[in-house]
């Protein structure tokens, strides 16, 4: 078991028993998977230093690229015509492709390496999220929830408007928007681990048994409803412009892919504020107590402030309940299962 920094208040909040039962170890047959040490060991101090760099470089590059595309007239949708969609897709997905290639070369845990069946299933999850669930839900949230918060903003004392025309300004506004949105998401996520009714939407994401950049979108459609709740509130309340929303989305996608990646990134400065893959791997741990830490998927500062942060790097395996990978059908159907059946998975 790892050392966990929890407050007395958190201990009171934690359920008396795991939402998903611990497995009967006698029933788990010995795995053929390669053995990896529970805590990653860097080959040298220099290697450890080098792994501090990719996360800030990828996140900042992605935000800067989107900000340049927005502020540059030569790259505007008008100038690019049909090429604009291609550019958006490239800017959005190139960090993912880079991370997937890196996972094959600098694998953190060999047991988590995806096979072709895993890739095919993950592509299915990404495409259904990108083309069905997220568009459906963002349409739903556009009204009346956003309108209600816009009304609050216009009729109360909140004078903040997140808008910028320069690249550093857009990046700063995007980080502020993400941090505020993650404050709401932090509490939704924490409740998902505390209450069965919310856990049934979140359980699908925790039944992944391998970490990979591909896995951030393995999310049940009902959970997208909860996840998407924070962003429109903050954007409407803070009056964020479409430009700020675009850069903020680039940061959000990048954070999701990086924190799920099977790579040994760890940066003491960047990860004081932004979630590291190690923080989120611990949240996906099969160990019940470890999985009740690090609820911030992109911004870790709220965990630090509310006492749910853990810096442990000790993770034997990830997954929930029995720790077995569920079928595609079960991953969708489990949200409708009775409580006992969800606990037995
Ligand atoms: Zn969770
Ligand atoms: Zn996750």
Buried b (16+ CB within 10 A) or exposed e, 74-103: ebeeeeeeeeeeeeeeebbeebbebbbebb
Cα(296) to centroid of ligand 1, in Å?
Answer: 9
What pLDDT, in 10s, does the model give residues 310-324?
999 999 899 988 888
Please give the average per-residue pLDDT across 232-254, as a whole number.
82
Q: Are 40 and 338 in contact (CB under 8 A)?
A: no
- Burial class of residue 143, CB neighbours in 10 A (0-12, 13-18, 19+): exposed
Question: Distance, CA 279 to ligand 2 centroid (Å)?
Answer: 10
pLDDT-derived band at 8, boundaries 50, 70, 90:
very low
Smallest-distance ligand from the CA of 257: 2
Cα separations in angstroms, 313 against 28, 177, 299: 24, 29, 18
Is the pLDDT at 47 greater than 70? The verdict is yes
Rounded CA-CA distance 275/282 in Å is 11
Cα gap 173→154, rounded to integer Å: 19
Residues 6+ apart with CB under 8 A from 258: 55, 58, 59, 95, 99, 213, 265, 277
DSSP collapsed to 3 states, 9-44? HHHHHCCCCCCCCCCCHHHCCCCCCCCCCCCCCCCC
Ligand nearest to the CA of 294: 1
Residue 249 has pLDDT above 70, yes or no: yes
Q: What pLDDT does residue 309 have?
A: 97
pLDDT at 149: 67
Q: SS3 for 117?
A: helix
Q: Are the C-beta atoms of 332 and 213 separated by less than 8 Å?
A: no
What pLDDT sits at residue 143?
52
Residue 298 CA, ligand 2 centroid: distance in Å: 10
User: Minimum-distance ligand to the CA of 19?
Assistant: 1
Ligand in closest contact with the CA of 259: 2
The pLDDT value recorded for residue 241 is 82
pLDDT of residue 310: 96
- The rounded Å distance from CA 193 to ligand 1 centre is 6
The pLDDT value given to residue 3: 44
Alpha carbon of 205 to ligand 2 centroid (Å): 6
- How remote is the CA of residue 113 from the centroid of ligand 1, in Å? 21
The pLDDT score that the predictor gives to residue 12 is: 46
Task: Give yes or no for a contact between 277 and 259, defined as CB atoms under 8 angstroms apart.
Answer: yes
Q: CA quadruple 187, 189, 193, 196: dihedral positive or negative?
A: positive
Q: Mean pLDDT, to the nearest integer, of 276-302? A: 95
Taking the centre of ligand 2 as the mean of its atom positions, its distance from the CA of residue 293, in whole angstroms, is: 12
Residue of higher predicted confidence among 243 and 81: 243
Q: Is the pLDDT of residue 4 over 60?
A: no
Rg (CA), the chain: 20
Report cis status (omega within 30 of 0) of the bond before 137: no
pLDDT of residue 11: 46
Confidence band (pLDDT; 50, 70, 90) for 76? Answer: low
* CA 162 to centroid of ligand 2, rounded, Å: 28
Q: Please tell me the pTM assigned to this model.
A: 0.84
In contact, 286 and 319? CB cutoff 8 Å = yes
Q: How many angstroms separate the alpha carbon of residue 158 from the centre of ligand 2?
A: 33
Give the pLDDT score at 13.
Answer: 46
Question: How many Å lie between the centroid of ligand 1 and the Cα of residue 147?
Answer: 29
73 to 70, 87, 91: CA distances (angstroms): 8, 14, 17
Q: Is the pLDDT of residue 217 over 90?
A: no
pLDDT tens digits, 326-336: 888 999 988 88
Q: Which two structure tokens, joined as six digits, stand for 14?
A: 């934690």
Higher pLDDT, 279 or 10: 279
pLDDT tens digits along 154-203 = 776 666 788 888 899 999 999 999 998 899 899 999 999 999 988 998 99
Residues 312 and 4: beta-carbon distance below 8 Å: yes
Q: Between these two residues, 145 and 304, which has the higher pLDDT value?
A: 304
Q: Which residue has the tokens 């890196």?
A: 102
- Counting ligands in written order, which one lies closest to the CA of residue 277? 2
Confidence of residue 234 (pLDDT cuts 50, 70, 90): confident
CA of 285 to the centre of ligand 1 (A): 10
Give me the count of residues in the chain. Answer: 345
pLDDT above 90: percentage of residues in the chain: 45
| pLDDT tens, position by position, 87-124 | 777 777 889 999 999 999 999 999 999 999 999 999 99
Confidence of residue 69 (pLDDT cuts 50, 70, 90): confident
Mean pLDDT of the chain: 83
pLDDT greater at residue 26 or residue 195: 195
Domain ranges of the chain: 54-263
Ligand index nearest the alpha carbon of residue 211? 2
The residue behind tokens 């709740």 is 229
Span 28-43, mean pLDDT?
70
Query: What per-residue confidence (pLDDT) applies to 176?
Result: 92
- Percent of the residues in the chain that have a pLDDT greater than 70, as a whole number: 79
d(CA 88, CA 69): 9
345 within 8 A of 203, measured Cβ to Cβ:
yes
- Spacing, Cα 259 to ligand 2 middle (Å): 8
Q: Ligand 2: distance of its center to the CA of 222 in Å?
A: 15
85 Cα–ligand 1 center, Å: 33
Task: Tell me how far the alpha carbon of residue 58 lies from the centroid of ligand 1, in angstroms.
Answer: 24
Buried residues in 255-282 as b, exposed as e (16+ CB within 10 A) = bbbbbbbbbbbbbeebbeebbbbbbbbb
Higher pLDDT, 265 or 29: 265
Q: For residue 46, report the distance from its CA to the centre of ligand 1, in Å.
A: 33
Instruction: Give φ, ψ of 299 to 5 degrees.
Output: -120, 125
Please give the average per-residue pLDDT across 35-64, as a whole number.
Answer: 91
């Amino acid at each position: 078991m790892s050392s966990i920094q929890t407050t007395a208040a958190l201990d009171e909040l934690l359920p008396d028993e795991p939402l998903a039962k611990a497995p009967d170890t006698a029933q788990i047959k010995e795995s053929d998977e390669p053995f990896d040490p529970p805590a990653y060991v860097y080959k040298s101090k220099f290697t450890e230093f080098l792994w501090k760099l990719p996360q800030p470089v990828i996140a900042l590059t992605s935000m800067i690229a989107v900000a340049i595309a927005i502020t540059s007239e030569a790259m505007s949708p008008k100038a690019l015509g049909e090429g604009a969609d291609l550019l958006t897709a490239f800017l959005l997905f190139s960090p993912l492709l880079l991370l997937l290639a890196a996972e094959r070369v600098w694998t953190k845990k060999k047991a988590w390496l995806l096979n072709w069946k895993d890739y095919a299933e993950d592509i299915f999850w990404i495409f259904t999220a990108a083309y069905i669930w997220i568009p459906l839900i963002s349409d739903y949230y556009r009204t009346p929830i956003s309108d209600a918060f816009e009304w609050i903003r216009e009729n109360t004392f909140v004078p903040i408007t997140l808008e910028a025309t320069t690249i550093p300004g857009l990046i700063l506004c995007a980080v502020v928007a993400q941090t505020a949105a993650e404050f709401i998401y932090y509490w939704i996520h924490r409740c998902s681990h505390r209450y069965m009714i919310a856990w049934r939407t979140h359980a699908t994401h925790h039944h992944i048994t391998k970490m990979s950049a591909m896995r951030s979108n393995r999310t049940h459609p009902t959970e997208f409803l909860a996840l998407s709740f924070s962003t429109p509130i903050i954007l409407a309340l803070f009056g964020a412009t479409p430009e700020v929303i675009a850069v903020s989305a680039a940061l959000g996608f990048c954070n999701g892919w990086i924190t799920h990646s099977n790579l040994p990134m760890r940066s003491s400065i960047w990860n004081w504020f932004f979630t590291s893959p190690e923080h989120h791997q611990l949240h996906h741990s099969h160990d019940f107590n470890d999985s009740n830490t690090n609820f911030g998927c992109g911004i870790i500062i709220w965990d630090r402030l509310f006492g749910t942060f853990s810096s442990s790097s000790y993770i034997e395996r990830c997954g929930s309940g029995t720790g077995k990978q569920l079928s595609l059908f079960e991953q969708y159907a489990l949200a409708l299962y009775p409580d006992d059946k969800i606990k037995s998975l």
